[in-house]
Amino acid sequence: MPPIYPIIDDSMVPFGRLCETAEAIIGGGAEILQFRSKNLTPADLLAVSMELRRMTEDSKVLFIVNDRVDIALLSSADGVHLGQEDLPVAEARRLLGDERIIGLSTHSVKEAMEAGGLPVDYISFGPVYRTATKTDARSPRGLRELTTVRGQVGLPVVAIGGIRENNCRLVLEAGADSVAMISDILSEAGIREKLARLTGRSLS
């Protein structure tokens, strides 16, 4: 799992700038990109996902669709990221097959340990810090609980929630394999430059 896991959330990026934002993230050296949408119609969600799939495939970047197994299939995404209330993992795996990636959100040590017995490729854990990205976000879990999860779960762990450029190193040192970043990337004027700093990529 790449150490930096950017997520494009359409609650923070206008519809007309979704692909432009993805281009900047990819240009900055991202190796994986997730698209999260709570606002688009199914038709628009599929259209954008198909374009993002084209862009990421050309750049050899993994493309993950949030929540929607159907959109992941129709857009030929590399995988899907599911929440606790989404389609059960076993059913998602049956539809997606063994080749595609499935990630699962977890918010406690118990959920993380339960995920270890499911056919998932990685888990996310959080929120590590307080976050304003999701209005229904749970209370912060903190670095100590993240370290506990790392010691209990054999799957790759993607930490999420309130992670910024100035604290991502602490999160990785606490045991995360990867850090999901949303607002700290999407609110930046120079997204490409921000990703280049995070990924260590030199810009020509």
Rounded Cα distance between 88 and 179, Å, is: 24
Catalytic hit among 36, 68, 100, 194: 36
Angle at the Cα of 188 from the Cα atoms of 36 and 128, rounded to 5 degrees = 60
* Other beta carbons less than 10 A from residue 189's beta carbon: 6
Identify whether 36 is a catalytic site residue: yes
Q: Six-digit token pair at 143?
A: 């670095």
Query: Which residues lie below 8 Å from residue 164, measured CB to CB, with a gap of 6+?
Result: 181, 184
| Token digits of residue 40 | 């688009």
Q: Out of 17, 54, 59, 134, which one is annotated catalytic?
A: 134
HEC secondary structure over 17-66: HHHHHHHHHHHCCCCEEEEECCCCCHHHHHHHHHHHHHHHHHCCCEEEEE
10 Å Cβ neighbour count for 146?
22
134 is catalytic: yes
DSSP codes of every residue in 77-102: -SEEEE-TTSS-HHHHHHHH-SSSEE
CB 166 within 8 A of CB 181: no
- The catalytically annotated residue of 37, 105, 124, 178 is 105
60 catalytic per annotation:
no
Residue numbers annotated as active site: 36, 105, 134
